[in-house]
C-alpha cells in the first residue's frame, strides 16, 4: 500500500509526459542554407584580413545527434570572380577534392536542458574532412533553441585550422605566387547554422547530402567574356596540375580530372583561339625535350577536342626547355618548368 502511494506521489510531481519526453533530435533536422553562413578569414601581408564564404552547402542532424555538413568547395565566394577561380584551382584543387565535410556527435544529454535554458555553450569534438585529410578539432559553439522546430548552432570562437594539417601549403604557395602576396598559413573558420525540424519521431532517415558548385557563387553563367577567359587560362597555367609520367605524353587519371574541368572553360570561350604550350626542364637532350613538350601539348589538345572543343580553336606547340619560368637549379624549380600553359591568341 505504501509503495503504491509513493508511485502516485511521483506521478503527481513528475507527469508521465515529462518523464517520456522525446529526444531533442527526434525527427529529421535539416540545415536551412538560406539562414546560415559558413565562412573563413585569411590574412595577407601580415595585417590585411579578408572574409570569404561558401554559397552552397547542406547539412542534417539525425535522431542520434550525429551532425554532418557538406560544403561545395567550388562555391567559394570572395565576391571577386577571378579570385574565386584562383581559390578553386590553385588552393582547394576542386577538380580533385570537390567537397569538404564537417561531422560531430552531439550527445542528447548534452542539450537535455536546452528547453529550459534556451541557449547553451558546448565544446564539440568535430572532424573536418578537407583536401583528402581528416583532422579532429574542438569547436566552441552555442546551441540556441529558437522554437520547438528551429535551432541555431554557431561558433562562439573562431575555429583555427592549420593549412599544413590539410596538405594545403603547396596550394597556398601557388596563391601567393599568383597574387604576389604573403598569406598566413591558417584558416579562421566561423559557422552560423540554422536547422529546421522536418520530420517527426520515427521519421525516415534524411536523404544524402547534396551540394551545388561554382554556379552558386559569383560567376558568369554560359559563355565567358574575353577578360574572364584570359584570366582563367592564366590561372589554369599557374596551377601546374597537369602532370605526366617521365618521358611520356600519357594522360593519367589524375590529369583527366583537371582536363575535364579545363574543357568546360574552353567550351565556354567559343570564339577564342587558344594555344596549348608544352614546356620541359633543362635535363636531357634539348631536341628530345622539344619533341616531348610537343607530344604533351598535342595530347592535351586531343583530349579537349574529344570533349567538344573545335580543333581549329586549339594550337598545340612544344617549346621544350627554351622558356623556363625559373632557373633549373633545384628539384622544385625544375618541377615548375615542366608545365602546360594556355594562352588566348585572339
| Whether the predicted pLDDT of 224 surpasses 80 | yes
> How many residues does this entry show for the chain?
346
| Whether the predicted pLDDT of 24 surpasses 90 | no
Average pLDDT score over residue span 317-340: 92
Domains of the chain: 23-216 (2.40.128.110), 226-344 (3.30.1330.60)
Average pLDDT score over residue span 307-333: 93
How do residues 178-191 score in pLDDT, each as one tens digit? 989 999 999 999 99
Average per-residue pLDDT for the chain: 88
Q: In sequence order, which residues have a C-beta less than 8 Å from that of residue 3 and are 6 or more positions away?
A: none
Average pLDDT score over residue span 111-139: 95
CA-to-CA dists, residue 311 to 214, 271, 276, angstroms: 27, 13, 12
Average pLDDT score over residue span 293-302: 96
How do residues 226-284 score in pLDDT, each as one tens digit? 999 999 999 999 998 888 888 889 998 888 989 999 999 999 999 999 999 999 999 99
Q: What is the reported pLDDT for 9?
A: 37
Decide: 309 and 270 in contact? Cβ < 8 Å: no
Decide: 116 and 266 in contact? Cβ < 8 Å: no
| Lowest mean pLDDT segment, chosen from 6-20, 21-35, 47-61, 314-328 | 6-20
| Whether the predicted pLDDT of 201 surpasses 70 | no
| Whether the predicted pLDDT of 5 surpasses 70 | no
For the entire predicted model, the pTM comes to 0.86
Amino acid at each position: 500500500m505504501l509503495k503504491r502511494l509513493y508511485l502516485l506521489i511521483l506521478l503527481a510531481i513528475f507527469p508521465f509526459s515529462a518523464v517520456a519526453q522525446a529526444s531533442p533530435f527526434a525527427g529529421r533536422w535539416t540545415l536551412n542554407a538560406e539562414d546560415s553562413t559558413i565562412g573563413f578569414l585569411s590574412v595577407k601581408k601580415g595585417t590585411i584580413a579578408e572574409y570569404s564564404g561558401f554559397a552552397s552547402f547542406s547539412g542534417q542532424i539525425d535522431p542520434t545527434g550525429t551532425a554532418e555538413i557538406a560544403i561545395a568547395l567550388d562555391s567559394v565566394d570572395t565576391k571577386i570572380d577571378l579570385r574565386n577561380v584562383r581559390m578553386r584551382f590553385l588552393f582547394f584543387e576542386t577538380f580533385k577534392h570537390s567537397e569538404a565535410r564537417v561531422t560531430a556527435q552531439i550527445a542528447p544529454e548534452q542539450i537535455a536542458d536546452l528547453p529550459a535554458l534556451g541557449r547553451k555553450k558546448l565544446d564539440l569534438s568535430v572532424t573536418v574532412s578537407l583536401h583528402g585529410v581528416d583532422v579532429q578539432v574542438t569547436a566552441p559553439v552555442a546551441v540556441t533553441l529558437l522554437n520547438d522546430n528551429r535551432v541555431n548552432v554557431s561558433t562562439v570562437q573562431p575555429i583555427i585550422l592549420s593549412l599544413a594539417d590539410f596538405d594545403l601549403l603547396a596550394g597556398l604557395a601557388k596563391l601567393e605566387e599568383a597574387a604576389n602576396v604573403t598569406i598566413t598559413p591558417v584558416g579562421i573558420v566561423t559557422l552560423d547554422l540554422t536547422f529546421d525540424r522536418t520530420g517527426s519521431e520515427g521519421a525516415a532517415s534524411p536523404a544524402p547530402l547534396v551540394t551545388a558548385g561554382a554556379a552558386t557563387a559569383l560567376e558568369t553563367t554560359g559563355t565567358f567574356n574575353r577578360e574572364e577567359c584570359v584570366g582563367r587560362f592564366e590561372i589554369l597555367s599557374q596551377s601546374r596540375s597537369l602532370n605526366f609520367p617521365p618521358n611520356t605524353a600519357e594522360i593519367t587519371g589524375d590529369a583527366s580530372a583537371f582536363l575535364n574541368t579545363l574543357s568546360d572553360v574552353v567550351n565556354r570561350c567559343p570564339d577564342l583561339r587558344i594555344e596549348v604550350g608544352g614546356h620541359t626542364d633543362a635535363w636531357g637532350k634539348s631536341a628530345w625535350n622539344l619533341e616531348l613538350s610537343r607530344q604533351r601539348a598535342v595530347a592535351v589538345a586531343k583530349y579537349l577536342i574529344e570533349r567538344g572543343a573545335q580543333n581549329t580553336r586549339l594550337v598545340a606547340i612544344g617549346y621544350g626547355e627554351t622558356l623556363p619560368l625559373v632557373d633549373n637549379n633545384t628539384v622544385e624549380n625544375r618541377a615548375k618548368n615542366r608545365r602546360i600553359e594556355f594562352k588566348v591568341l585572339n
